[in-house]
Chain A
Amino acid sequence: MDLPHQRAGYAFCLAPAMFHVQTDALAAAWRAWLCGVGAPAVLIVAADGEWGTPDRRLLDGIRGELRALGAALVVVTEGRSFCFRPDVDRDEPVPERLATGAGMRALHGLYGVEAAAQVPFTLTLLDEHGAVRAQTSARAEGGLHATLLATLRSAVENTRADERVLFSRREVVLSSLTAALALSFAASCRPHAKPPSPGAPPAASTPSTAREILVTLVVNGETHQLELEPRVSLLDALRERLALTGTKKGCDHGQCGACTVLLDARRVNACLILAVMAQNKPITTIEGLSHGENLHPLQAAFVKEDALQCGYCTPGQIMSAAGLLREKRAHTDDEVRELMSGNICRCGAYVNIVRAIRSVQESGVPT
């Protein structure tokens, strides 16, 4: 089998149609499984060592961007294969019968991908039907993980720019990912347009605007060290660097409350705090409110009382309510309304939000 992308010098292949190469049972199982992990899915088949052990920060970033896109990542190597779904917190293994021997051959047949020394990796973008939308095996300059992160990030940006386009969200994500893949992987193997002429002065280095400093954040009991610019808000650090995307960005001006977290046990707007100023103080986000699978009483009450419609403001509402309960200053419906006024709900779920908070207060359950 000699697919175009495997020929020397061929950097990038946009394959609008799916490959109908092999339809045996294992291939069908592969496709069914890949369709089930989430759409779109980024499938990386890599030689041992090519995926290796990525830097944790990069991996966290990749997870964060995948969540933002609602895309899955499937990494298949000889040693270890796993899958990350945007809606599940931890990696899951790829079913063993698919990730070994005959299963790997079926995958090769299905998408023309294999892990081999001469092709260190192949990255394939699959849509919800398991059809190939883009494929590349070009080496990326910054390394596979960093380039993947940059690609996903840029795709997220593209989807934002495309918000007004009347395609389905899935199509927007797919086309953004395709464009971002083409740019980052194809660009990385483009030869330099103009080699510096001998004797010419070396190009001035880009002026450094990076003023990153080491910032220690204690989030949900875990200590994280991040290199951040002072201008990074706590909200952006949580979402973009720690992949804690439960905390939402609404207005980014302290007016909507979607970004509410507890800082030193007090509710605050994470968008109005510089991360560097939140150092070494305990921070609790919505992710840290539940104990594993056991919902916090407020979370359970919001579910029970149907205290949401679209759900975007809900993490902020719940964190704000958690602060309100600690403060013990709201004793009536009206006082709850007044002291929840920093949280806006565009769906207007206020009636049930108040009811949910009051039900927790009245239950006397320790929070």
Chain B
Amino acid sequence: MKSFDYLPAQKLEEAVARGEPRTSRFIAGGTLLVDLMRLDVERPDLVVDLNGVLSSDIAWNEAGLTLGALARNTDVAYDDTVRREFPVLSEAILAGASPQIRNLATTGGNLLQRTRCAYFRDAAVPACNKRKPGSGCAALEGYTRMHAILGVSERCIAAHPSDMAVALLALDAAVHTRRATGERQIPLGDLHTLPGTTPELETVLEPGEVITRVVVPRSPRGRRSTYLKVRDRASFAFALSSAAVALELEQGTIRSARVALGGVGVKPWRAAATEAALVGRPATSETYRAAAKLATSGAKTTPDNAFKVPLTERVVARALERAGALA
């Protein structure tokens, strides 16, 4: 690991001011950054510690649920309000990582996770447009079983790894940030960018911009929500495909729906066509299966990951079935 200076920020303005994109990195839980620094993928000169300047509170009020950016994954997942009002969020967090990592990992950091693409994580691989803009993409000619099928470009097919972000997307969450010019709110669906020709850019955050909290609005779908994740082993593995679904039912008819996908997109992926195919229909297996067929429309697959299309259809159908059956 390259040597670096460490700055425990005392004020948020100080952290924002020191957030220089090429040479400094923010650290909160550290589970990702320390790993990537050890891999030499991240080589900052300065690491700015946000633990002294952000909140870890979890609060429930008229507006909904507010998660401080430092709220640890464990604390959010086991929070009584979260489990009651947004089971999909609790389930998604508990489907990710290990208890040890969840004890460290934070809400803000989880949203900014980097991909698990093996070619990105191996600094010895010369071609990675994300790591070294313009250097090419080793994955395109490599082993792509874990890679994305939605939102991919000719420059990058790396999948977004977060489970929690997928649940938050299905819950219409918004990210609140602080930047040099003040504060702003970003709907979660707008936080991450498509790789296009600039896969090195992953979010709309400006240099020095810090996520301060995440707000999940009260929702008629919140309690009827669930997360289903399929992976190579029963626990502690990244998703091959996952779905966060939230339904609002009225006398057996679907009034509104949210469906978001993980493990298949270059960013947490909203399955808008599936949602549209659910609304106004009876809450039956036939409806779920038909709507699920639309979840991966527009997918671009490789021979290694083409299996994700039928897999995702089944994951979505099963998740809808499960949500529909919730009391």
Q: Which residues in A have some Cβ–Cβ distance to B below 8 Å?
A: 209, 211, 213, 229-231, 233, 252-255, 257, 260, 266-269, 271-274, 276-277, 320, 323-324, 327, 329, 337-339, 341-343
Contacts and interface: CB of A to CB of B under 8 A. Distances in A.
Contact of B51 (A255, A266, A277): A277
Size class of B's contact patch? Answer: 20 to 34
Given A231-B2, A257-B98, A342-B99, A272 B78 contact: no
A92 B103 CA distance: 41
Contact of B235 (A253, A260, A338): A338
A268 B103 contact: yes
Nearest to A340: B99
Given A230-B5, A254-B31, A274-B30, A320 B104 contact: no
Interface of B: 1-6, 27, 30-31, 34-35, 37-39, 47, 49, 51, 74, 78, 97-101, 103-104, 234-236
Given A230-B47, A277-B49, A329-B78, A252 B104 contact: no
Q: Which 4 pairs between the two chains have the least Cβ-Cβ distance?
A: A342-B98, A230-B6, A341-B235, A341-B236
Contact of B98 (A230, A277, A341): A341
B3 A269 contact: no
B26 to A, nearest CB: 13
Contacts of A230: 3-6, 47
Contacts of B100: 254, 257, 260, 267-269, 320, 323, 342
Contact of A272 (B4, B34, B49, B99): B34
Contact of B4 (A211, A327, A329, A337): A211
Contacts of A209: 3
Contacts of B74: 266
Contacts of A257: 98, 100
B3 A211 contact: yes
A255 B98 CA distance: 8
Nearest to A320: B100
Nearest to A270: B100
B252 to A, nearest CB: 34
Contact of A277 (B30, B38, B97): B30
A55 B291 CA distance: 71
Greatest chain A CB density within 10 A among B2, B100, B234 is at B100
Contacts of A266: 74, 103
27 contacts: A211-B6, A213-B6, A230-B5, A253-B39, A254-B98, A267-B100, A267-B103, A268-B100, A269-B101, A272-B35, A272-B101, A272-B104, A273-B104, A274-B34, A274-B47, A276-B6, A277-B27, A323-B100, A323-B103, A324-B99, A341-B98, A341-B234, A342-B97, A342-B98, A342-B100, A342-B236, A343-B98
Contacts of A260: 100
A268 B29 CA distance: 11
Given A267-B103, A272-B104, A342-B100, A254 B35 contact: yes
Given A254-B101, A324-B99, A231 B235 contact: no
A272 B31 contact: yes
B114 to A, nearest CB: 13
Nearest to B103: A266
B99 A323 contact: yes
Contacts of A339: 99
A231 B99 contact: no
A276 B49 CA distance: 10
A336 B104 CA distance: 20
Contacts of B78: 329
Nearest to A273: B30
A175 B4 CA distance: 36
A123 B74 CA distance: 53
Contacts of B35: 253-254, 272
A337 B99 CA distance: 12
Nearest to A210: B3
A179 to B, nearest CB: 27
A154 to B, nearest CB: 20
